[in-house]
Homo-oligomer: A and B are copies of this chain.
Amino acid sequence: MRLRTQGAVLAVLGVLSTQAHANDDVLKQTADPKQWAKQEGDYANTRYSKLDQINTTNVGDLKVAWQFSTGVLRGHEGSPLVIGSTMYIHTPFPNNVFALNLDDENKIIWKYSPKQDPSVIAVMCCDTVNRGVAYADGRIFLYQSDTTVVALDAKTGKEVWKAKNGDPKIGETGTMAPIVVKDKVIVGISGAEFGIQGHVTAYDAATGKRAWRGYNVGPDDQILFDPEKTLSLGKPVGKNSSIKTWTGDQWKIGGGSVWGWFSYDPDLNLVYYGTANPSTWNPAQRAGPDGKQIDQKWTMSLVARNVDNGVAAWAYQMTPFDEWDYDGVNENILAEHEINGKKHKTLVHFDRNGFGYTLDRTNGELLVAKPYDPDLNWSTGVEMDKSKPNYGRPTVVASKSTFLNGPDVNSKNICPAALGFKDQQPAAYSPLTDLYYVPINNVCMDYEPFKVSYTPGQPYVGATLSMFPPEGKSNTGHVIAWDAAKGEIVFSHDELFSVWSGVLTTAGGFFCHGTLEGYLKCRDQKDGKELFKHRLPSGIIGNVFTYEHKGKQFLGVYSGVGGWAGIGLAAGLDKPTDGLGAVGNYAGLKQYTDLGGSLTVYSLP
């Protein structure tokens, strides 16, 4: 696909089409609060359910209704889907999928067990996780570790089509949940720790034929950016907006992978996602031709793309020239907020770099950028003055710059750590309070970059990290409520470990999240007061979900410790200092929990 062949398509950019936007079936399924039809709850990624049978007055009475062991030990991210009376359960590698009959003892209607070369495990940076399947039009879409995208008949589990999206031999893997928009299934790619060239790809949902692919780094015809029409901070990006921010051909192994959650605005016909870090983690190797910082666009960015052709409407780079692995993949939650007296269609994003961003999602205008954790210390703030040359950019504290300090120097006590104050574990929005409920990693780090050579399929990291709680603290987590219009923390509650579980909000007035040591907790949306707490078989890195069946509301979550936070346990690393999961108090996790994937579903007595 070349841009010059796309004039006609580009011309419609930004023009609202009169035809039905979105996938009607996804809209229909997610509109029914009895179902959990999408990993994110809805296209807006609110993770808010209108069900209110369980509410603040009775959530404390929840009891375990039933459970299901997945037969897989390692980290369980994402959640099941519920469509009608069928629940779809997925697992980490080997990415089995179960369809359970909620009408008949939750019996297994079918089990899909893909055959994958287990060598892919070696190129999965942060445990063998998978963030779940997508549903639309009678099909289940699975994105396997080995990057195979599979469409299954939702009734029978039979394969309808398969497409190979990437190549594990160069470190490309699949971990994210696909999203179905209109007639397309869209997936990203994992592997920025292996020097891949990150991309987003749309497949025809009916046939599996590739519709378009947009890279996040590279020439304009690869990144599908229109120099004139694609905006950034209110201005057209211009020609070669990516490659001119790289030295030589480094963009070819430049990272910018995509493995978080997609959101979609049907009215704007745009999908939103974040891009990951540039490769390597050693910034000195990525310096500009002049030896200075250079942006490495469009890594660490939010990107809005037209669903039909993949062309970018706008992009915003949170962390130019990353020096900390502040990967920008976190979810974007779509709502509306009044800011400075004007109502905006907003996009709210809690970046790994510690800033909570509110943008106008129609054009990428930056509205708010404030730390969502007061321990942030690598930057003094994001420049909000449009007249300044560094408008929209974080001002870096020199002593926390791993680039200025140089390779083989251990830059001390940088907050947040590479994990970010939040990673992929999704926050949720509640219209009841107009607040966002955010699971936090309260973690800082020492970061020592070093020179690394690129070898296809080998780790291309180039930094040694040590992670720990902020000075004077022993816990590494909390949950907060966030006012995205003001950029303010409304309340914050400490957790012993980083909260690596996605949040659910409901019309019952509470929100729920898991904890790494294995508690499911539900709290009052008003003040975060703990209303329910229950210990599950293993630590929780899955996302809380809810559904109604035969008139009864259920609420559930996967347990199964792992992921980046639990990689020490998941991969059997003996020393807390081993591997990327080396986080101070996480070593204590093994006092609380061991591996094992299960779904637990609660209901009122």
Contact = CB atoms under 8 A, between A and B. Distances in A.
24 contacts: A64-B64, A66-B535, A67-B536, A67-B537, A68-B593, A68-B594, A69-B537, A69-B538, A69-B560, A69-B593, A69-B598, A70-B594, A70-B596, A71-B595, A71-B596, A73-B73, A73-B596, A105-B592, A108-B591, A108-B594, A111-B594, A537-B537, A537-B599, A598-B598
A309 interface: no
A378 to B, nearest CB: 34
Contacts of A67: 535-537
A571 to B, nearest CB: 12
Contacts of A595: 69, 71
A106 interface: yes
Among A68, A98, A594, A597, find the residue whose CB has the most chain B CB atoms closer than 10 A.
A594
Contacts of A71: 73, 538, 594-596
A493 interface: no
A147 B115 CA distance: 35
Nearest to A96: B594
Interface residues of A, number: 35
A486 B428 CA distance: 65
In the A-B complex, list the 7 residue pairs whose CB atoms are closest, starting with the nearest: A69-B596, A71-B594, A69-B537, A69-B538, A64-B64, A67-B537, A71-B595
Contacts of A594: 68-71, 98, 108, 111
A537 B73 contact: no
A429 to B, nearest CB: 30
A590 B71 CA distance: 11
Contact of A535 (B106, B108, B534, B597): B106
Nearest to A536: B67
Given A69-B593, A108-B590, A598-B598, 9 more contacts: A67-B535, A68-B594, A69-B595, A70-B594, A108-B594, A537-B598, A537-B599, A537-B600, A596-B597
A242 interface: no
Nearest to A593: B69
A430 interface: no
A98 B537 CA distance: 14
A63 interface: yes
Contact of A107 (B111, B536, B592): B592
Nearest to A602: B64
Interface string A442-477: 000000000000000000000000000000000000
Contact of A596 (B534, B536, B593, B596): B596
B108 A559 contact: no
A288 to B, nearest CB: 48
Contacts of A106: 535
Interface string A63-92: 110111111010000000000000000000
Given A63-B63, A598-B596, A590 B111 contact: yes
Interface in A516-562: 517, 534-538, 559-560
Contacts of A105: 517, 535, 592
A586 to B, nearest CB: 14
Contacts of A69: 537-538, 559-560, 593-596, 598
Contacts of A600: 537
A591 B100 CA distance: 9
Nearest to A69: B596
A64 to B, nearest CB: 4
Interface string A12-52: 00000000000000000000000000000000000000000
A64 B593 CA distance: 17
A92 to B, nearest CB: 13
A591 B537 contact: no
Contacts of A605: 63, 605
Interface in A560-605: 560, 590-600, 605
Interface string A92-110: 0000001000000111100
A559 B535 CA distance: 16
A536 B599 CA distance: 10
A63 B532 CA distance: 14
Among A70, A71, A600, find the residue whose CB has the most chain B CB atoms closer than 10 A.
A71
Contacts of A537: 67-69, 537, 598-600
A98 B107 CA distance: 32
Contacts of A599: 537
Contacts of A560: 69
A107 B591 CA distance: 5
Nearest to A91: B594
A107 B590 CA distance: 9
Among A69, A73, A591, A593, find the residue whose CB has the most chain B CB atoms closer than 10 A.
A69
Contact of A64 (B63, B73, B98): B63
Nearest to A569: B71
A342 to B, nearest CB: 49
A204 to B, nearest CB: 33
